[in-house]
Chains A and B, each alone.
Chain A
Amino acid sequence: MNASVASMNIALVGNPNCGKTALFNRLTGGRQKVANYAGVTVERKEGKFNTPQGKSIHVLDLPGTYSLTPSSPDEAITRDVCMGRIDEVGLPDIIVCVADATNLRLHLRFVLELQQLGRPMILALNLMDEAGRRGIKIDSQALSRELNMPVVETIAVQRQGAEALAKQLDLPVPTSGSVTRHADLHQRVREVMAIAVTVPEYSDSRADKLDRIVLHPVLGLMILAVVMFLMFQAVFSWAVPLQDGVSAAIGWLSSAVSSLLPAGPLESLVSKGLFAGLGTVMEFLPQILILFLFILMLEESGYLPRAAFLLDRFMFAAGLTGRSFIPMLSSFACAIPGIMATRSIQDPRDRLTTIMVAPLMTCSARLPVYTLLIGAFIPRVEVMKLFNLQGLVLFALYMAGILSALLVSYVIKKTRKDKSEHALLMELPRYRWPNPRDIAMGLWERTIIFMRRVTGIILSLTVILWFLSSYPAPPDGATLPAIDYSFAGRIGHFMEPLFSPIGFNWQICIALIPGLAAREVAVAALATVYAISGGDDAAAQALSPLIAAQWSIPTALSLLVWYVYAPQCLSTLAVIKRETNSWKQVFISTGYLFALAYFASFATYQLARMWL
């Protein structure tokens, strides 16, 4: 085999919901890499695999699209890559068009449209197992003849499901041949279907029955409410044993490591800076993972677009679109993937509004703050023998974020000048069982992102904070706690007058600063501040009873409300800049959230002081 054929670039292209990403995962396993196309905000997913004969295949997973007439930046990228207009990835040697075998009537039109580009193509008939179950008979040879391109059958969810495609890639590159121009692609699809495909009289009664319930105007909304409520209860209760485990492990590691070090600045940095900070944040990994697990499963099962269908009219009334539901739900995990997911919203106005309000969805980084404060100030009592009061308060905080988002988007809608039509036009995919493999890969991706944040930004901030709160050391004969003399203490005291109307003491003021970079650091910062001001190692592990004793309830409530709106973390601001390509939007977003946060906390603090 010579070098020129030992490696090859292919691109996976297809309609949304054709199982393309599952096929990509199947082909590449863990060997994939996600980046962005230069200058635009479209995800570039690449991977590698080897064919049975050892040919090295570089594969590009292009955004799903219905047509080469793009209606979003994602679809434009797919078209441009297929036409070789994107230098950084070059022209693919072969375009592998993935089509859902159960939905060829729609997907073949795009295959024919792509073919008119005159590039070598392979058609991968995906979901062949599902087609078989539905009694759809496809004569691949006839299909291949009619379309004048190789056709392989794939089942992305099975181990051997992509073998036929890998084998096909060992064969010589298919010639594009002469392309017959069809004036009416839909008519041509009907002709091809008549020759090669037998579709039984449509009867997918199980899915139909399910849809009658899930999309029912009343039942459907109730189901949605239950699903959402369960999700948040799970995050708050199922994660507890795992969190205890993580916390115990870090505590053990901390004491093991610091016992090896001589007492002094280094030991102090390691136990009070590194482990106190890192430990408090790592403890929330289980919650974040459970949240992502729910979102991934809802997404994979096909439920999320149905939720978007149910909510579209409500969201439209509030100045959003049903499509905003998925980015906003992702924002509950983290605003960054949420804001990135707005790329699937075609209308630029809807997209911008969604970006503006996505940070109001309570991201998982705020959970540490909520958990700490709820644990310290809200009693763990049962309400109506069914719910836990702590869970209910958490639910209320999430609702406050959601309602504020709707209010803000409504204001944006009313003040916008361009009032021309917004489109929905959304396909509802079939239901499917979430594939454990794809879920696991999705979770793994998110864990890596979280860990990177923890080890990168968060860790360095925690260390900087430790330095600020440890130096300069108190003078001889000092009467106040050591931290009062430190840089951090001075900064905190300096900020205090601005924040005392909303009930924040100077320790909270210090924690707010690193909280700007990453919200979850606020807790780590409090741990660091109190560990050092208390001069007691145990304080880091026992922050909750400590603040319960020192803060008033209005202060705690005010801080909870502050974090509903909280100034966004720097990474969110960076992603808004990247996605909107405008500093103006970044300033607007930061400004309005800060104002909302201050106002809401002020109201909460003052009212709570009057009533409690």
Chain B
Amino acid sequence: MLLSELALGQTASVVSVEDAYPADAIAQRLRDLGFVSGELLKVRAVGPLGAEPILVKIASSQFALRLNEAARIRIALASSP
């Protein structure tokens, strides 16, 4: 499952961040920002038009991501709420 598909309010954990093309600087930045395997995240809000961007809470930070950025992040739904 991709982060771009995660519903508002649901919690998931990061599996990996995948390069959309070779030497993908956006993917690298996402990893630097803490989108790494095992981190829990949650979609806290979505933008008013086309549910984009999404506001993702990870650790104690929040990032606004567009859907094509979020689509680089592979996630697994968390079992616990």
Contact = CB atoms under 8 A, between A and B. Distances in A.
Interface of A: 66-67, 69, 71, 102-106, 109, 186, 199, 202, 208, 211-212, 215-218, 220-221, 305, 308-310, 312-314, 316-317, 322, 421, 423-428
A314 B49 contact: yes
A106 B59 CA distance: 8
Given A105-B60, A106-B59, A309-B53, A425 B32 contact: no
29 contacts: A67-B32, A69-B28, A69-B29, A69-B32, A103-B61, A106-B34, A106-B59, A106-B61, A186-B36, A199-B60, A208-B44, A215-B45, A215-B55, A217-B46, A217-B47, A217-B48, A305-B64, A309-B55, A310-B48, A312-B66, A424-B53, A424-B65, A425-B30, A425-B63, A425-B69, A426-B63, A427-B33, A428-B55, A428-B62
Contacts of A425: 26, 29-30, 33, 63-65, 69
Contacts of B63: 425-428
Contacts, number: 102
Nearest to A217: B48
Contacts of A220: 48
B29 A67 contact: yes
A63 to B, nearest CB: 16
A316 B50 CA distance: 12
B50 to A, nearest CB: 6
Contacts of B32: 66-67, 69, 109
B68 interface: yes
A66 B28 CA distance: 11
Contacts of A215: 44-45, 55
B48 A71 contact: no
B72 to A, nearest CB: 10
Nearest to A69: B28
Nearest to A309: B64
Interface of B: 20, 25-26, 28-30, 32-34, 36, 44-50, 52-53, 55, 59-66, 68-69
B48 A424 contact: no
Contacts of B65: 424-425
A317 B49 CA distance: 10
B23 to A, nearest CB: 11
A212 B45 contact: yes
A60 B19 CA distance: 36
A186 to B, nearest CB: 5
B66 A423 contact: yes
A104 B60 CA distance: 8
A457 B50 CA distance: 47
Nearest to B33: A66
B2 to A, nearest CB: 16
Contacts of B47: 217, 309-310, 312-313
B46 A424 contact: no
Contacts of A66: 29, 32-33
A199 B40 CA distance: 15
5 tightest A-B CB contacts, nearest first: A217-B48, A105-B59, A313-B49, A215-B45, A67-B32
A201 to B, nearest CB: 12
Contacts of A424: 53, 64-66, 69
A313 B64 contact: no
A216 B45 CA distance: 8
A308 B45 CA distance: 13
A217 B45 CA distance: 9
B42 to A, nearest CB: 10
Nearest to B62: A428
A308 B44 CA distance: 16
Contacts of B66: 312, 316, 423-424
A221 B53 contact: no
Given A309-B47, A423-B29, 13 more contacts: A69-B28, A106-B60, A106-B61, A199-B60, A220-B48, A312-B52, A313-B47, A322-B53, A421-B68, A424-B53, A424-B66, A425-B26, A425-B69
Contacts of B49: 313-314, 317
Nearest to B34: A106
Nearest to A100: B60
Contacts of B34: 105-106, 109, 186
B68 A211 contact: no
Contacts of B30: 425
A394 B8 CA distance: 39
A212 B53 CA distance: 15
A102 B61 CA distance: 9
A217 B47 CA distance: 6
Contacts of B20: 421
Among B26, B45, B46, B65, max chain A CB count under 10 A is at B45
Contacts of A426: 63-64
A67 to B, nearest CB: 4
Contact of B60 (A71, A202, A217): A202
Nearest to B48: A217
Contacts of A106: 33-34, 59-61
Contact of B48 (A105, A212, A221, A305): A221
B29 A211 contact: no
